[in-house]
Amino acid sequence: MAVWLVAIVDRGSFTGFCTRWSCWTRSRKTRRSVRSTDDYLPHDCDLAIKATLKACWNDDNGGGFGGGPKQLGHTATNYASCLALALLGTPEALETVDRQALYRFFMSRKHASGAFTAHEGGESDVRVTYCVISIASLFGILTDELRAGVVDYVLSCQTYEGGFGGEPGNEAHGGYAFCSVATLYILQAVDQIQDLPALLHWLANRQMPFEGGYQGRTNKLVDGCYSFWQGALPALLADVVRERYGAAVPYQCHSEQLQKYILLCGQQIEGGLRDKPGKPRDHYHSCYCLSGLSVAQHGDGRDTPVVFGDASNLLARNHPAYNIGSDKVTKTLAYFAAKGPFQSE
């Protein structure tokens, strides 16, 4: 795995289906796999990432980071771009973002439902809403005006199964469940989930008893990327579960079985991780399998990590809501908090 990642970085290649997403997933999984978020990316690579991201800011057509230079600003590529800069973690990287312009872009995406639209004329759902709320909170621009109506909208997306869909009335889905619960976690509203027992029941039944990994929806196959999308939920829900049911209630994931699926079924022998055996490795699944592996090992961070196999399998702790290293989250929050309360212009 490490050899494959080092080869990618040494080539200086950040091309792919989306330049912004490629920068984020590759820099993130490189730092996750080497266990220290300050280890591997060389200085010239940091500079290249900052320059690439800066070139993709769209001043001419509504603001926001686009998928590439001159492309339309989009909330998902803003999410990936800002997380890539937070991973770099230097003041120069964090100051790449014009917070006033970013705030204006986010406010222009505000929808009457309480959600946000992905881009001009785009869809609105909990995925987009999570992208906005997570970055706004991380970069210190989460105002009352921006968060208005968000909690009620997210809560309305819980389904009869207990999980969350992308919009009210949609089928419960692991990716949307993560976006919903992570948004509530950031807004300190997890305790407002209307049917917590149903959510826990739905979540427990998405971890397959034979494979050990997670499926995204009822009656679907296991997929390695849900190791994070579903696997982060027990960590996000841990505090409210303790408060509601007591400290004796076990962690709501079989962590060792999940690690077995990722390490024994998800790895490709040449390096990289994948959806399932028979599928090719790719950056997306490498990113989310490693994220899921970290959360499976560390849980909510209160207990000693649970590590399947050799001790060298232990990864750095990933923040279950932001999906970057917990140390980078702490550092970024502190950097912008030191500037004082954000005032929109």
Domains of the chain with CATH codes: 15-339 (1.50.10.20)
Q: How far is CA 273 from the centre of its chain?
A: 17
Q: Residue 276's pLDDT is what? A: 97
Phi/psi region, residue 171 (left: phi>0; alpha: psi -120 to 50; beta: rest), is beta
Query: What DSSP string describes 238-253?
Result: HHHHHHHH-TTSPPSS
Q: Residue 63's pLDDT is what? A: 85
**Type of residue numbered 132:** V
Whether the predicted pLDDT of 16 surpasses 50 = no
Closest by CA to 300, choosing from 281, 320, 316, 280, is 320
Q: Residue 17's pLDDT is what? A: 42
* pLDDT band of 20, cuts 50, 70, 90: low
Q: Residue 46's pLDDT is what? A: 85
Residue appearing with tokens 């290293």: 325
How far is 152 from 156, CA to CA, in rounded Å?
Answer: 6
- For range 266-282, the mean pLDDT: 96
Strands 124-125, 116-117: pairing is: antiparallel
Tens of pLDDT, residue by residue over 44-67, are 888 889 999 999 998 877 789 999
Q: Residue 7's pLDDT is what? A: 59
Q: Residue 236's pLDDT is what? A: 99
Q: Residue 174's pLDDT is what? A: 98
Tens of pLDDT, residue by residue over 189-226, are 999 999 999 999 999 999 999 999 999 999 999 999 99
Residue appearing with tokens 């490490």: 2
Q: Residue 324's pLDDT is what? A: 97
Using CA atoms, how far residue 6 sits from 3, 35, 42, 76, 147, in Å, is 5, 14, 11, 26, 40
Q: What percent of the chain has pLDDT over 70?
A: 88
Closest by CA to 260, choosing from 293, 217, 222, 225, is 293
- Consecutive H or E run containing 116: strand 116-117
Token pair of 182, please?
Answer: 């992570």
Query: What DSSP string describes 270-327?
Result: TS-B-SSTTSPP-HHHHHHHHHHHHHHHHTTSSSPPP--SSGGGPPPPBPTTTSSBHH
Q: Residue 42's pLDDT is what? A: 73
The angle subtended at Cα 31 by Cα 28 and Cα 36, nearest 5°, is 140
Q: What percent of the chain has pLDDT over 90?
A: 83
Query: What DSSP string describes 194-259?
Result: TTHHHHHHHHHTTB-TTT-SBBSSTT--B-TTHHHHTTTHHHHHHHHHHHHH-TTSPPSS-HHHHH
Whether the predicted pLDDT of 26 surpasses 80 = no
How far is 330 from 284, CA to CA, in rounded Å?
Answer: 25
Q: Which residue has the higher pLDDT, 2 or 155?
A: 155
Of the given ranges (61-65, 95-99, 123-127, 279-283), which has the lowest mean pLDDT?
61-65
- For range 251-261, the mean pLDDT: 98
Which residues participate in catalysis according to the annotation?
173, 217, 220, 223, 225-226, 275, 282, 285
Q: How far is CA 226 from the centre of its chain?
A: 12
The angle subtended at Cα 96 by Cα 115 and Cα 45, nearest 5°, is 115
Mean pLDDT estimate for the chain: 91
How far is 315 from 319, CA to CA, in rounded Å?
Answer: 12
User: Distance between terminal CA atoms of the chain?
Assistant: 46
- For range 266-289, the mean pLDDT: 96
Q: How far is CA 83 from the centre of its chain?
A: 9
Using CA atoms, how far residue 322 sits from 110, 183, 249, 278, 295, in Å, is 21, 10, 25, 30, 12
Task: Count other C-beta atoms under 10 Å from residue 174's C-beta.
Answer: 27
